[in-house]
Amino acid sequence: MHYEEIYATLHEIVRLARTGGYTDAASKLNTGLQQLQPVLTSGKIASEHLKKLTYSLETLLLMQKQNDWVAVADIIEFEFSVLLKEALE
């Protein structure tokens, strides 16, 4: 899996969530989670980073459940993506 593909998916989720494409954002989030699974379970990410990423994902999914798509976009753009880049460096 190329990380660029994951970042592109995350960027697309943010775009859709910010422009009212909530159904498409939810579908793309599903795709993104499937792309992330092998990365997060590979054992290559340090436990401290994995802990932060997991907490961020839990918060993101809670916001999705509450249909707070602005919060979903914010979490992906300003928290999760940053944490993921740090974890993969």
pTM listed for this prediction: 0.92
Q: How confident is the model at residue 87 (pLDDT cuts 50, 70, 90)?
A: very high
Mean pLDDT confidence for 58-86: 97
User: What pLDDT does residue 1 have?
Assistant: 53
- pLDDT band at residue 2 using 50, 70 and 90 as cut-offs: confident
Within 8 A by CB and 6+ apart from 22, the residues are 16, 67, 69
Predicted confidence (pLDDT) per residue in 7-56, tens digit = 999 999 999 999 999 999 999 999 999 999 999 999 999 999 999 999 99
- Closest-CA residue to 35 (of 62, 58, 13): 13
Going by pLDDT thresholds of 50, 70 and 90, the confidence category of residue 63 is: very high
